[in-house]
Amino acid sequence: MLKFACIAASALTFTVGSVHAAGPKAEVIHWWTSGGESAAVKTLADAYTNAGGVWVDTAIALGEQARSVAVNRILGGNPPTAAQFNTSKQFLDLVEQGMLNPIDNVAQQQGWDKLLPETVLSVVRVKGHYYAAPVNIHMPTWIWYSKAAFKQAGIGAEPKTVDELFAVLDKLRAAGLVPLAHGGQPWQDNIVFTAVLANVGGTELYLKVLRDKDRQAIEGEAFKKVLLSFKRLQSYTDKGSPGRNWNDATSMLIAGKAGVQIMGDWAKGEFAQAHQSPGKDFGCIAGFGAKSPYIIQGDVFVFPKTSDPQAIKAQQLLAGVMLAPVTQVAFSNKKGSIPVRTDVDVSSMDLCAQQGLAIMKDKSRHLGNGEIYMSPDQNGALTDILTAYWNKNQPVEKVQKDIAAALKN
Amino acid sequence: MADIKISDLRIGYANTTVIEGLDLEVMDGEFLVLLGPSGCGKSTLLHGIAGLQDVAAGTIAIGGVDMTHADPTDRNIGMVFQSYALYPTMSVERNMSFSLRVKGFSRQEIARRVERAAQMLQLTELLQRKPAQLSGGQRQRVAIGRALVRDAGVFLFDEPLSNLDAQLRTELRRELKLLHKRLGTTMVYVTHDQVEAMTLASRIVVMRAGHIEQIGTPGDVYARPNNLFVASFLGAPAMNMLGGTLVAAHDGAIALKLQGGKVGLSGYAFLDAPQAAREVVLGLRPESLHLDPAGPFEGTVVLVEPMGNHSVLSIDWAGQHLSCLLPGGEAPALESVLRFAIDTTQISLFDRYTERRL
Amino acid sequence: MTAPRSWWKVRPGHFSAGVALLPLALIVLVAYVGTVLWTLRVSLTNARTFPSDVYVGLAQYERLFQNERWLLSLNNLALYGLLFISLSIALGLLLAVFIDQKVRGEGLLRTVFLYPYAMSFVATGLVWQWLLNPELGLQNAVQALGFAGVQFDWIVDQDKVMYTIVLATVWQASGFVMALLLAGLRSIDAQIWNAARIDGIPTWQVYVFIVLPMLGESIATVFVLLLTATVKLFDAVVSMTQGGPGNASEVPAKFIMDHLFGRANLALASAGSVVLLLTVLALVAPLLYARSRYHRRGERL
Amino acid sequence: MSGRIPVARWGIYFFLLGAALFFLLPAYVMLVTSLKSMDEIRLGRIFALPGLLTAEPWISAWSGACTGLNCEGIRGGFWNSVAIAIPSTVLPILLGALNGYALSFWRPRGSQTLFAVLMAGAFIPAQVMMYPLIQILAALGIFGSLVGIVLVHTIFSMPVMTLLFRNYYVSIPTELFHAARIDGGGFYRIFFELVLPMSVPIVTVAAIMQITGVWNDYILGLVFAGREHLPMTVQLNNIINTTTGTRLYNVNMAATILTSLVPLAVYFASGRWFVRGITAGALKG
């Protein structure tokens, strides 16, 4: 028993005593564990170290896992200094339970209200206080295509409209290639849906359905068309699609076996691994038409409640560093995303990222990912319906009705 | 050494009572055998004495001390089980010394006692073996040795020989008897084998359905069974049972009228004064029927079973079959007609309805 | 005549036994009964990420039973459990019996059959996904050998995908079943075999009529272990199919986990756990009860 | 031996070899994948032998792969895993054996009910119990410590460990226990001197089970062990699991095989405890 007490005591002294290190010590929980992601998180850590802090890294694979560990640690009375969440309503409950420290003075100092896209602000700012530091913007619905496959199928130009996209897919099929490389996992089905909703339905319908949960819009003709287009895309996938990882689908593009994949900008990392570069080996299309929306998804850090002045100092410093322009660019270059602020030097970024940043300059084209408008629960319920529809033959009217029921507040 | 006194004992499981209102005294130094068919409660009673079975009511005193709820180990007993129950991971020596080690005896004392018991049971060569390396008879000897080393006041045996083959059984039976003679310790022995009971016991307790039917010396229980159950349970070949009626003879004495004739009962020691016309069952041990050319009865030999030193004859007597022991190697031919007499001093008479001895 | 033993006059051995079981009692009361009650309470509230004190009656249960995904997951679990348990026991038993025939290389074979048990499904699930994928795996390989007609695409088939989960988990579990049954087999008396040989009973009959009944306790243990594994089935599904195609391989534990973490719906997840627990107990309790009646061996000390 | 037996033996070997092939197929795929370069893996020929053998993935998996800032592969958590696995195997087995022994031989009042409730508890998904357990452990001051994780492993293994031993002991003849009672053995004396030595086969099985379970455990270690004691499976999962990051399948496979080496070694070493004759002929007649 004595021994137990000793161990418990030493654990205690560790957490208490750890603060008096060189600079403010920050333990950060995140889920960036793969090779490219590790390089990205290193830029954040380096920036923090340069600012005089000590970064203690706690990497835990998979977002759900990392977030639940953060929540558990908060509950167990041993919170980290900062924890990663998505740019979404995931941490709203934490805010409402008073478990996070606001970082208002950093936000005011840096002028977040002017700096950040409204879509991001709507998540970060709760009742006038700022609770999360956004680090990047991912765009989940890029349309990637293999130049080799296009060439083989005799496709000269990249598609400019949805109809052209379908024509391209038909041509790819005729050439004996897999038209649409898709990983049949629920979250990937959801990405394809989001892409179709944004490009076929348009910004207005997108917001009506996902943000306003407007029953009339959901059961209307326009949304029906969206769902039918979504389902039509399924017919362009191959038999091995269900269950496939996204990077295996990307590999099919890399090998020239498949033509098109709808996937987030992180897919660039997979192309880079295979020594392929944008514009030369593969192309990226953010959307169709001059007004096509740019879907915003991304990562933020929240700062669990603590009264320890050293820890609060670390949290403030961390938040400031994360939004510094240099950090933002360096981070996104490694991560494949784009900075959350548009006032940065983009010259070092790749073709697709520059294309994205150009679109982001137009505020009217900002549009949030589903998670920004829906609770995690609603988003999940929607995913369930979509993935069932994608895989089964269901009447589209039933799907509309199911979605309306799932999104009912 | 100790005696055992059991009074008004009740033992039961959840909803069933196995033993009810049982009284029994085991005298110091006696070899008491609990005999009865399976399910009669004899093992339960033994387990009750050992403390392996919870007692619902009544008392058990061993050596004059109330042990009703005492721990088995505090009862000053040793016990031998049917399946030997040797500790499989321990050598013979450690099997035998286990209880002594538990009690914290000195090493010399343990060695002395184990050696003595091993010698007594011819186990000295086997002390370092594991039970798996022993034959059945050796295992049972170890089990006995394990009880022996404790110098207990009472030894309990739970059908210890029934897992052995016939020859070994006879051999070990004799050893047990010699052991008892040598030690003089109180022993309680459960068996369903009447031969074991007869040969070993100072007294036999015949049990049925949780009750004691009769207690007595082997000779007593054999010769004067208390009731039909006891009569039929003991003896091989089994006792002949013939239905009949009591009648008053011309001289006023009581006689027994059977299918094959009338038997005078002048030699029979009635418990109560007999009444005529009573329906009875005659119990006739095969050896109480004597072949006698001058005998009053006549029957036909229908079967002969030669046993070497004697033969068992089946005789048809007016439609009833009687077994009869015939000493010597010679036996009469089949179908031959014989005359015989009945030794009425050796017979038993039971009421046909109460089945009790008259 | 003595008074019945008073409750405080417990024999020393029994007292020690009671004391020895105290840690167990504490674990059962606090960790198991406590958490079940806690879960039950939460399932009656509107809890999201954190427990809440706002009670909403049976609303979560209503929502649960209107959820097609949940209903499908229960169906899948029943089908899966039946196949997984029976096949694992059958294969495990065959392996144990055959390995018990004094074969050469027993140690190696035992390890070969056991190794899947040591592998976490995080990676082996992926391998199975590849093997079963019609474009990558076995179907492709066999067709390349010239058997063009061979079809093995269960993993992408809505109606057959559960069989692939069964296949992979049987692969993982049956080695352990073998080990447990082998331990059981080897505690059976060798004399049984001598007796049976003398009686001239064919080997297979000895196994079926004599050994199998003697393995009763071991098989019962295996059954319960496999049943708990069934109820907790999660890793294999996540790593092989992510519940797909569509929701076709959805299972309750995954549903609960999704709602517990990803979807921040503690209350619905709790309701799911309660229903799952009650369902399993309703199925298992009569079985266990019958067994305990059958096995009643009188009072032991 | 009669003439039919060789045929039967052929059948036995045929079956065992067939089964072994089935069992080894995934291992084969894992092994060849771990020896290929990613470029080769992208070709999607999972059965093909590596065109160019490379040990790079193995080195990376053991000591190089980055997971966040940490770039030391799975090596880092190895001793943590050992430190968790040993007490989390020994303690549950001892407790399980003691419980099984008390439950099947002594049966104190109420113990059978206790056992029934425990068995019901085996069907609760662990994740559901975590939330309240965190709060209990935090209240005890052992959340995020070695003691805490060992306690949690003990709690979660209790149903299965108790069941294993109880069912094993139920098949031991009662008379053996009775004999020991009369010989004066007390509760612990009978347990340590008689019952535990007879439990070798089941202790083997329990150890296989518990070591595998604890060694491969990820979620409990992640939540309850605390930053300083994270087991190597956390690193393993960090290497393998990612949603939007790139996947290095060769490193994943190598890391998986490396992680499982300890349980595999245990399986192989357990062989001698499976040899016939430990109890044969001793328990019964």
Contacts of D1 (CB under 8 A, 6+ apart): none
A8 and chain D in contact, CB less than 8 A: yes
Residues A289 and A316 in one domain: no
Contact between chain A and chain B (3 or more Cβ pairs less than 8 Å apart): no
Q: Residue C38 pLDDT > 80, yes or no? A: yes
The per-residue pLDDT for C135 is: 80
**What band does C226 get if pLDDT is binned at 50, 70 and 90?**
very high
Which of B87-101, B205-219, C284-298 bottoms out in mean pLDDT, i.e. has the lowest?
C284-298
Assess if residue B289 is contained within a domain. yes
What residues in D contact A8, CB-CB < 8 Å?
141-142, 145, 147
Choose the mutation target among D130, D217, D224, D244 for the interface with A, i.e. most A CBs under 10 Å: D244
The answer to whether position A5 is within a domain reads no
Exposure class string for B78-102: b at 16+ Cβ within 10 A, else e: bbbbbbbbbbbbbbbbbbbbbbbbb
Asked if B59's CB is within 8 angstroms of C1's CB, the reply is yes
Same domain membership, residue A276 and residue A302: no
Asked if A188 and A260 sit in the same domain, the reply is: yes
pLDDT of residue C8: 44
Same domain, A265 and A310: no
Task: Please state the rounded mean pLDDT for residues C241-245.
Answer: 86
Q: What is the CATH number of the domain that holds D97?
A: 1.10.3720.10
A131 and A248 inside one domain: no
Q: Which two tokens stand for residue C278?
A: 């009650």
D11: domain range?
A: 5-54
Cβ–Cβ below 8 Å for C247 and A384 = yes
Q: How far apart are CA A179 and CA A177, in angstroms?
A: 6
Does residue D280 fall inside a structural domain?
A: no
Q: Where are the beta strands (DSSP E) in chain B?
A: 4-12, 17-26, 31-35, 57-62, 65-66, 77-80, 154-158, 186-191, 203-208, 211-216, 240-248, 254-258, 261-264, 279-284, 289-291, 297-306, 310-317, 320-327, 337-342, 348-351
**Mutate which of D183, D188, D191, D196 to disrupt the B interface (most B C-beta within 10 Å)?**
D183
Distance in Å, alpha carbon of C205 to nearest chain A alpha carbon = 45
E strand map for A303-361:
none
Q: Are residues D159 and D229 in the same domain?
A: yes
Answer whether B79's CB lies under 8 Å from D182's CB. Answer: yes
Task: Determine the structural domain holding residue A397 and report its residue range.
Answer: 142-295+368-407
The DSSP bridge pattern shows strands A142-146 and B211-216 to be unpaired
B312 DSSP β-pair partners: B305, B325
Do the chains contact at C270 and D128, CB–CB below 8 Å? Answer: yes
Judged by CB atoms closer than 8 Å, whether chains meet at C69 and A375 is answered as no
Cβ contact, residue pair C299, B57, below 8 Å: no
Q: Is residue D142 part of a domain?
A: yes
Q: Which of C186, C276, C297 is nearest residue D174 as measured by Cβ atoms?
A: C297
* Residue D91 β-bridge partners: none
CA proximity to C210, closest of C294, C121, C97:
C97
Q: Which of D65, D237, D247 is facing A245, going by the closest CB pair?
A: D247
A42 near D CB under 8 A = yes
Residues C71-100 have a mean pLDDT of: 94
Q: Does B76 touch chain D (CB under 8 A)?
A: no
Q: Judge: A61–D244 Cβ closer than 8 Å, yes or no.
A: no
Instruction: Classify A185 as helix, strand or coil.
Output: coil
Burial D65-95 (b: 16+ CB within 10 A, else e): bbbbbbeebbebbbebbebbbebbbebbbeb
Q: CA of D69 to nearest chain C CA: how many angstroms apart?
A: 22
Q: What is the pLDDT of residue B270?
A: 80
User: Is B105 in CB contact (< 8 Å) with chain D?
Assistant: no
Distance CA D230, CA C166 (A): 32
User: Is residue A9 in some structural domain?
Assistant: no
Q: What are the chain A neighbours of D66 within 8 Å (beta carbons)?
A: 35, 38-39
Last residue of a domain, one of B233, B257, B288: B233
Domains of chain C (ranges; CATH) run 69-294 (1.10.3720.10)
Residues 36-65 on B with a CB inside 8 Å of C are 52-54, 56-59
C126-141 confidence digits (pLDDT tens): 889 889 988 888 888 8
Measured between CA atoms, the residue of chain A closest to residue D127 is: A68
Residue A154 maps to which CATH number?
A: 3.40.190.10
Nearest to A262 by CA among A289, A241, A276: A241
Closest by alpha carbon to B236, among B271, B285, B200, B301? B285
Same domain, D26 and D153: no
Dihedral over Cα of C250, C170, C78, D215: its sign: negative
Q: What percent of chain C has pLDDT over 90?
A: 36
Whether residue D155 is predicted with pLDDT greater than 70 in this model: the reply is yes
- Residue B25 neighbours by CB under 8 Å, 6+ apart: B3, B4, B5, B6
State how far the Cα of D229 lies from the Cα of A281, in Å rounded to an integer: 45
Instruction: Report the pLDDT value the prediction gives residue A390, as an integer from 0 to 100.
Output: 95
A239 in the same domain as A180: yes
State whether residue D126 sits within 8 Å of chain A by CB: no
Q: For D247-262, what is the mean pLDDT?
A: 89
- Indicate if D99 and D50 belong to the same structural domain: no
* Residues of chain A contacting D231 with CB distance shorter than 8 Å: none
Is the domain of D46 the same as that of D113? no
B141 and B226 share one domain:
yes
> Do residues A232 and A246 both lie within one domain?
yes
Mean pLDDT of D117-128: 83
Across B320-334, C178-192, D87-101, D113-127, the highest mean pLDDT is recorded for D87-101
Are residues B282 and B203 located together in one domain of the fold? no
Distance from CA of A363 to the nearest CA of D (A): 26
Angle between helix C68-99 and helix C59-66 axes, rounded to 10 deg: 70
The CATH number covering residue B256 comes to 2.40.50.140
CB atoms within 10 A of CB B151: 15
Residues A170 and A283 in one domain: yes
Contact A43, A327 (CB under 8 A): yes
Neighbours of A, requiring at least 3 CB pairs below 8 Å, are: C, D
Q: Are residues C273 and D124, on separate chains, in Cβ contact within 8 Å?
A: yes
Q: What confidence score (pLDDT) does residue C194 get?
A: 63
B67, B187: one domain: yes
Question: Can you tell me the distance from the alpha carbon of B147 to that of B79, in angstroms, rounded to the nearest whole number?
Answer: 6
Amino acid identity of residue B314, one-letter, is S
At D269 the pLDDT is 83
Out of B226-240, C79-93, D203-217, the most confident range is: C79-93
Is D245 within 8 Å of A187 when comparing Cβ atoms?
no
Question: Contact D60/D252 with Cβ under 8 angstroms?
Answer: no
* C259 Cβ contact list (under 8 Å, min separation 6): A377, A380, C265, C266, C268, C269, C272
Pairing mode, strands A178-180 and A258-263: parallel
**Residue A19 pLDDT:** 40
Q: How far from D123 is each of B17, B290, D120, D152, CA to CA, in Å?
A: 39, 77, 6, 16
Residue C148 is predicted with a pLDDT of 79
Strand partners of residue D156: none
Residue B334 has what pLDDT? Answer: 83
pLDDT of residue B1: 63
Would you say residue D273 has pLDDT above 90? no
Percent of chain B with pLDDT over 90: 33
Minimal Cα–Cα distance from C90 to chain A, Å? 29
pLDDT of C298 > 50? The answer is no
Region D2-25: mean pLDDT is 82
Work out how many domains chain B is built from and give that number.
Answer: 2
Q: Is D131 found in the same domain as D265?
A: yes
pLDDT value of residue D1: 41
- Residues C249-275: what's their mean pLDDT? 90
C-alpha–C-alpha distance, residues D91 and D107, integer Å: 22
Tens-digit pLDDT profile for residues D172-182:
888 889 999 88
Whether residues A132 and A179 share a domain: the answer is: no
Q: In this complex, which of A41, A78, A247 lies closest to D69 when CB atoms are compared?
A: A41
**Alpha helix (H) ranges present in chain B?**
42-50, 92-103, 107-120, 136-148, 166-183, 194-200, 218-223, 228-233
Strand order across the B57-62 sheet: B17-26, B4-12, B57-62, B65-66
CB contact under 8 A, B98 and D284: no
- Structural domains of chain A, count: 2
Confirm whether B225 is domain-assigned. yes
Partner-chain contact C16 D188, CB within 8 Å = yes
User: Considering its fold, how many domains does chain D have in total?
Assistant: 2
Q: Could you tell me the residue range of the domain that residue B339 belongs to?
A: 240-351
Work out the pLDDT band at C195, boundaries 50, 70, 90.
low
- In this structure, the answer to whether residues B171 and B294 fall within a common structural domain is no
Dihedrals phi, psi of C89, to nearest 5 degrees: -65, -45
More confident residue, B54 or D85: D85
Whether residue D80 is contained in a domain is answered as yes
pTM of the predicted protein model: 0.86
Q: Which two tokens stand for residue D284?
A: 């019964």
pLDDT of residue C246: 85
Q: Is residue D202 located within the same domain as residue D138?
A: yes
Residues B163 and B67 reside in one and the same domain: yes
Residue D85's pLDDT is what?
Answer: 95
Same domain membership, residue D24 and residue D115: no
Stretches where chain A sits below pLDDT 50 are 1-21
Interface chains of chain B (3 or more CB pairs under 8 Å): C, D
Kindly tell me if the per-residue pLDDT of D280 is higher than 60.
no
Same domain, D161 and D260: yes
Nearest CA in chain A to C131: A240
Average pLDDT over residues B184-204: 92
Average confidence (pLDDT) over B335-353: 86
Nearest to A42 by CA among A331, A241, A370: A331
Task: Say yes or no: A316 and A192 in one domain.
Answer: no
Interface contact C2-B58, CB threshold 8 A: yes
Q: Which amino acid is at A211?
A: R
Q: B80 with B206, same domain?
A: yes
Quick count: other Cβ atoms within 10 Å of Cβ A303?
26
Q: ipTM score of the complex?
A: 0.83
Asked whether the beta carbons of residue C4 and residue B59 sit closer than 8 angstroms, the reply is no
Contacts of D276 in chain C (CB under 8 A): 100, 186, 190
D90 occurs within a structural domain: yes
CB A260 within 8 A of CB A179: yes
Report the residue of chain C nearest A185, measured CA to CA. Answer: C242
| Whole-number Å distance between alpha carbons of B290 and B343 | 7
User: What is the pLDDT averaged over residues B60-71?
Assistant: 90
* Residue C239 CA from chain centroid, whole number: 18
Distance CA(D275)–CA(D264), nearest Å, equals 18
Domain final position from A326, A341, A360 = A360
Residue B14: its pLDDT value, please? 66
